[in-house]
Structure formats: structure tokens, C-alpha cells
Amino acid sequence: MFKSVFFKAASAVVSTALVASFGSPANAQSVIKTDGSSTVFPIMEKAASDFQKSGGSRVTVGVSGTGGGFKKFCNGDTDISNASRPILQKEIDACRAKGISFIELPIAYDGLAVVVNPRNTWAQNLTADELKRIWEPGSKINNWSQVRSGFPNVPLKLFGAGADSGTFDYFTEAINGKSKASRTDYTATEDDNVTVRGVSGDRGALGYFGKSYLEANKGRVRAVGIIARGSTRAVMPSDTTVQNATYQPLSRPMFIYINANAAKRPEVKRFVTYIFNNASTIVKAARYTALPSSAYPRILANFNRNKLGTIFGGKNDVGLTINELVSREAR
């Protein structure tokens, strides 16, 4: 689904295919097609809009979720896939089966926010283990009184990411210990605005999504502090706590993946160059955490030298810090 809360003008540029389109009409070859993560959407929407204003080619930005985006990408339907987790082995295999090589480029960091209704006065923080008891497969917790002694008798209503979402993959692995392992009796969606509306409308609601949507909806939802396993300190999601690696285990990198053949096209090369020459500004405007400014020229250099494949071996890497990511990219 499409993001309408973060960028209020988005509805004005949405086509019937639920794709944001930026730029002047052009022939099919010059259109740059992107799709994928709802979390990365605000970054790519901002980049596409600014690129068009600078005289760049038309860019379409779809939102199918990270998994849905990779399905299109590995079928050759898109030029760029936006992802809130690294590409998985099954997706690498799907791309290989269609003869598609790719370039992996980290773009930003996110702190997944766990949110409640502002009228919730009792849950100022939650432990990772409490979240696991709530969200693990087969969980029967349906009332706040079951979460922690002293919490009131208020029905618990859950909202979260859908199965095609990279946010779902990351959250379930970070909290439940296995990707896609989750209870199923909750409102699942690839549109984070559904979660915003659900949590803001129910005193007993709990949900999760990327930090950008928390920042865009202050007053409608409230974040709770997360107490990591082995810790007693509750930490809130913020640029500072994501950068210094204290917001765990819910800090994660975000990526764009470029089809290697598409990368040879001048308009795609110009667009990727534009993104990374302006990445800090774009990422901050989208309310995510930018990588160190020194990292973006190195990442762009990897693109320009056609560095193929992934540094993640086809799996997630929960708890990876910004410094660790930058160090890997430099190799």
C-alpha cells in the first residue's frame, strides 16, 4: 500500500497502480522504476522528487514491501529495489535464475519504534522478552495485565507489518529469534499508516514501524523505551541511540539494490549519483538516521566500480551497528 501520512502531497501523484511518479513524461526506456520497502519509501520519494526538480528523468516509486519488491526486481520488472533488510538467499537464487545481477548500496539506518496510544499511561517501556511473549507464535496474551504485573486490565490490540515486509522479517528475527515467526491474530499490513490509525484509535493498542513514521505522527502515537536482553536500561529510538548502538535490538540498516544492467543506463547512473551526493540531506529530511558523511562517497564508489552481490551472505544480521556496516562496506 501507499504512504499518505508522511508526505501529504503523495495522494496527488499516486497512479491507479499505487505508484508515485516523479518527472516529466518520457519514453519507457528513460523511466526509472523503483519498488519495495514501505520504510524506505520516504527516502526514495524525497530523492525522486528532488531529482526531478533538478531536471532528472522520471522515477516511479512503488510500495510492495521489501519481499514484494524483490519479487518484482528478480523478475526484471524494476530497476531499483528498496529494502529494509538485506536480500535473502532465496531472493538471490530467484535473481540468479533470471540472470539478474545486482549492486547492494546501504542508504540509511532505522530504529524500529514500538508504539502505543498516547492515552496509555502505564507502558513507558517494554523489555525484549515481554515483546517476545506478546508476539511469539501461539501467544495467547490479549490483555495488558498479562504483559507485566501492575499493568491494568485493558484489552491488548496488536498492529504490525505484513509478511511481505522487511520490517516484519527484521522484527520477528530480532524479537522472536526467527524471521517470520509470529502470532497471526493481529492486524497485518504493508502500509504503516494503517498501524498509525489503528494504534491512535485504540487505548490498548500496540504496534511497530520505522522511526520516520513515529516522527511524522507525534501526538497520534507514543514510543515506548526498549530494554534489551541483558540490560536494565530503557532506550528510546532516536538518531543518537541508533548512531551509538544503544537502541537494540531494533536498529537496522536500509538499502537500495540496483539491477546491474540498469546501472549502465545514463539516467539510472545519474539518479544513483544524485542520491549519494545528497544522501545526508535526503535521509534527514525523511526522518531517518544518516550514515557518516564519509561513508556515502565510498558507497557511491562501489556503485561506480560495479561491485556486485551482497556482503550479508543471504541473511539478516540483527544488531549490526553503523560502524560495523561502514567497515564492511570499505572492504
The per-residue pLDDT for 22 is 56
Q: Are 143 and 156 in contact (CB under 8 A)?
A: yes
Q: Are 41 and 7 in contact (CB under 8 A)?
A: no
With CA atoms as reference, report the closest residue to 208 among 137, 110, 282, 106.
110
Q: Are 23 and 57 in contact (CB under 8 A)?
A: yes
Global pTM? Answer: 0.85
The per-residue pLDDT for 190 is 84
The per-residue pLDDT for 319 is 80
Q: Are strands 205-209 and 113-116 parallel, antiparallel or unpaired?
A: antiparallel
DSSP 206-272: EEEE-HHHHHHTBTTBEE-EEE-TT---EE---HHHHHTT-STTTEEEEEEEEETTGGGSHHHHHHH
The side-by-side arrangement of strands in the sheet containing 157-161 is 187-189, 157-161, 205-209, 113-116, 222-223
**Could you tell me the domains of the chain?**
10-110+252-329 (3.40.190.10), 111-243 (3.40.190.10)
Give the three cell numbers for residue 149: 504485573
- The phi and psi torsions of 13 (rounded to 5 degrees) equal -120, 15
Q: Are 176 and 132 in contact (CB under 8 A)?
A: yes
With CA atoms as reference, report the closest residue to 200 among 105, 79, 118, 284.
118
Residue-wise pLDDT tens for the chain (331 aa)? Answer: 334 333 333 332 333 234 565 555 545 558 999 999 989 999 999 999 999 999 999 999 999 899 999 999 999 999 999 999 999 999 999 999 999 999 999 999 999 999 999 999 999 999 999 999 999 999 999 999 999 999 999 999 999 999 888 899 999 999 999 999 999 999 998 888 999 999 999 999 999 999 989 999 999 999 999 999 999 999 999 999 999 999 999 999 999 999 999 999 999 999 999 999 999 999 999 999 999 989 999 999 999 999 999 999 998 888 888 888 888 876 6
Q: Write the DSSP symbol of residue 290.
A: P
Q: Determine if residue 65 is left, alpha or beta; phi over 0 gives left, psi from -120 to 50 gives alpha, anything else beta.
A: left
With 0-12 CB in 10 A as exposed, 13-18 as middle and 19+ as buried, what is 331?
exposed
Q: CA separation (Å) from 28 to 57, 78, 291?
A: 11, 12, 33
Q: Report the alpha-carbon angle 129-206-208, nearest 5.
A: 80
CA dist 198 and 325 (Å) reads: 34
CA dist 304 and 296 (Å) reads: 12
With CA atoms as reference, report the closest residue to 253 among 106, 113, 114.
106
DSSP 85-128: SPPPHHHHHHHHHTT--EEEEEEEEEEPEEEE-TT--S-SEEEH
Q: Are 259 and 69 in contact (CB under 8 A)?
A: no
